[in-house]
C-alpha cells in the first residue's frame, strides 16, 4: 500500500460527476492505496524543519452525497517526504501563491518527496507561453504588452483571438474580426495600458468542430480526446464557458503533435499534460491541473484514471 497525498482545492468544492482529481483518488483507493488530501494553504515550512502539511486522511464512500469520510489520524505536521507520492492538483490561476507553493514543494523534493508534476516543471511551463516553444505546430501567435504590436498582428491576420496569459476556463477571451470593432477597448481591458502581457492568435474557424483536449500520460497520448464544442454562438469551447464535450479518437495529426511533445515534456518531469488543439494547430500546453478524465471515460470507455495511476505506480517502482 502506498500513501498518496493530493494537493488540491477544498474537497467540499469537488463536483465529483466531472472532477478529474476525484477520479484519480477513486482509482488510487481501488488499488488499495491510502488517499490523503490537503490544500496549498496547508503547506508549512519552518526553518530547520522539513516542509509539512496539515493533511486529511480520507476514505471515498462511493456515494454521490458525502462522497468521502475523514478518517482518524489527522496529523498537524506531516512531512511531505513521508508520503510515497505528492500529486499537485491545485487548479489555476497560477498566481503568486501558486508560485510560492511550487517553491515549497521543490524544497520537499530536496528532502526526498516525489512530486507530480514536478514543481520546477510547473514553473517553467506557463500554460499559454509554453506553446511558443513548439511554434512549428501552432497557429500564428504573438505575446506582447504593446498595443501597436497587437494592431499590426490584426492588420496581418484580420480575424484574431486575444486572451490574458493567466486566464483559465475561457475567461477573458475575445475575438476581433476583420472590421476591428472594439479592438482598442479589448486591448485596454487586457493589457491594462501596457501593464499586462496579452496572447494574440490567428482565429481558427475549425473551432466549430471543437477545441480538442489531448492528454499525455508519461509522455504517451491517451487514445481518445475530448472535443469541446462551442454552443450558442460562443467562440469558446471551454466546458466552463458552456462548451459541449464530445469524446473522439485522436486524429493522425493529434498523434503527431502528441508524439513530438510527449517525450520532451515527460523528461522534464511532467507526468500529466493536456494539449489543446484546434483543427491541426496546437493552441495551449496545460500542465497545472489537466482535466477531462471523467468525460472521456464516460463516453469512450477509455479508463484514463487507470492509465494515470499505472504511470504513477511505475514512477514510484
User: Residue 241 — very low, low, confident or very high, per pLDDT cuts 50/70/90?
Assistant: low
Whether 57 sits among the annotated catalytic residues: the reply is no
Say yes or no: 255 and 272 in one domain.
yes
The C-alpha atoms of residue 258 and residue 253 are separated, in whole angstroms, by 9
257, 277 contact by CB (below 8 A):
yes
Domain hosting residue 153, numbered range: 140-203
pLDDT of 20-30, one tens digit each?
999 999 999 99
Decide if 162 is inside a domain: yes
Half-sphere CA count of 9, side-chain side, radius 13 A:
14
Whether 175 sits among the annotated catalytic residues: the reply is no
- How high is the mean pLDDT of the chain? 94
130, 119 contact by CB (below 8 A):
no
Decide if 132 is inside a domain: no
Say yes or no: 43 and 55 in one domain.
yes
Supply φ then ψ for residue 234, to 5 degrees.
Answer: -70, 150
93, 121 contact by CB (below 8 A):
no
Decide if 188 is inside a domain: yes
Of the candidates 280, 283, 285, 249, the residue with the CA atom closest to the CA atom of residue 270: 285
Q: Give me the number of domains the chain comprises.
A: 3
Say yes or no: 11 and 119 in one domain.
yes
Say yes or no: 115 and 171 in one domain.
no
* Active-site residue, from 276, 281, 294, 295: 276
pLDDT of 96-154, one tens digit each?
999 999 999 999 999 999 999 999 999 999 888 999 999 999 999 999 999 999 999 99
Whether 236 sits among the annotated catalytic residues: the reply is yes
Q: What is the 3-state secondary structure (H, E, C) of 232-259?
A: CCCCCCCHHHCCEEEEEECCHHHHHHHH
Domain finish residue from 176, 203, 230: 203
Say yes or no: 66 and 100 in one domain.
yes
Whether 127 sits among the annotated catalytic residues: the reply is no
Domain finish residue from 78, 96, 124: 124
Say yes or no: 30 and 61 in one domain.
yes
Cell numbers 495551449 correspond to 284
Amino acid at each position: 500500500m502506498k500513501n498518496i497525498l493530493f494537493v488540491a482545492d477544498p474537497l467540499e468544492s469537488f463536483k465529483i460527476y466531472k472532477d478529474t482529481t476525484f477520479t484519480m483518488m477513486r482509482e488510487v483507493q481501488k488499488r488499495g492505496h491510502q488517499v490523503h488530501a490537503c490544500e496549498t494553504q496547508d503547506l508549512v515550512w519552518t526553518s530547520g524543519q522539513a516542509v509539512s502539511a496539515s493533511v486529511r486522511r480520507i476514505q471515498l464512500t462511493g456515494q454521490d452525497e458525502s462522497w468521502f469520510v475523514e478518517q482518524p489520524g489527522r496529523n498537524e505536521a506531516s512531512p511531505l517526504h513521508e508520503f510515497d507520492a505528492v500529486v499537485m492538483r491545485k487548479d489555476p490561476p497560477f498566481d503568486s501563491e501558486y508560485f510560492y507553493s511550487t517553491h515549497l514543494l521543490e524544497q520537499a523534493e530536496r528532502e526526498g518527496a516525489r512530486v507530480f508534476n514536478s514543481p520546477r516543471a510547473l514553473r517553467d511551463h506557463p500554460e499559454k507561453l509554453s506553446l511558443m516553444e513548439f511554434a512549428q505546430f501552432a497557429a500564428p501567435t504573438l505575446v506582447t504588452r504593446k498595443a501597436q504590436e497587437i494592431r499590426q498582428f490584426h492588420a496581418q491576420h484580420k480575424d484574431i483571438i486575444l486572451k490574458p496569459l493567466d486566464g483559465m476556463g475561457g475567461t477573458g477571451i475575445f475575438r476581433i474580426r476583420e472590421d476591428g470593432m472594439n479592438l482598442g477597448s479589448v486591448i485596454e481591458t487586457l493589457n491594462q495600458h501596457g501593464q499586462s502581457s496579452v496572447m494574440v492568435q490567428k482565429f481558427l474557424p475549425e473551432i466549430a468542430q471543437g477545441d480538442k483536449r489531448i492528454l499525455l500520460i508519461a509522455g504517451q497520448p491517451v487514445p481518445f480526446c475530448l472535443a469541446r464544442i462551442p454552443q450558442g454562438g460562443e467562440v469558446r469551447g471551454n466546458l466552463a464557458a458552456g462548451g459541449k464535450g464530445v469524446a473522439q479518437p485522436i486524429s493522425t495529426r493529434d498523434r503527431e503533435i502528441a508524439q513530438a511533445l510527449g517525450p520532451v515534456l515527460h523528461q522534464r518531469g511532467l507526468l500529466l499534460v493536456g494539449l489543446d488543439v484546434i483543427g491541426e494547430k496546437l493552441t495551449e500546453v496545460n500542465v497545472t491541473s489537466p482535466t477531462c478524465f471523467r468525460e472521456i471515460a464516460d463516453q469512450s470507455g477509455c479508463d484514463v484514471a487507470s492509465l494515470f495511476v499505472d504511470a504513477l505506480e511505475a514512477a514510484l517502482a
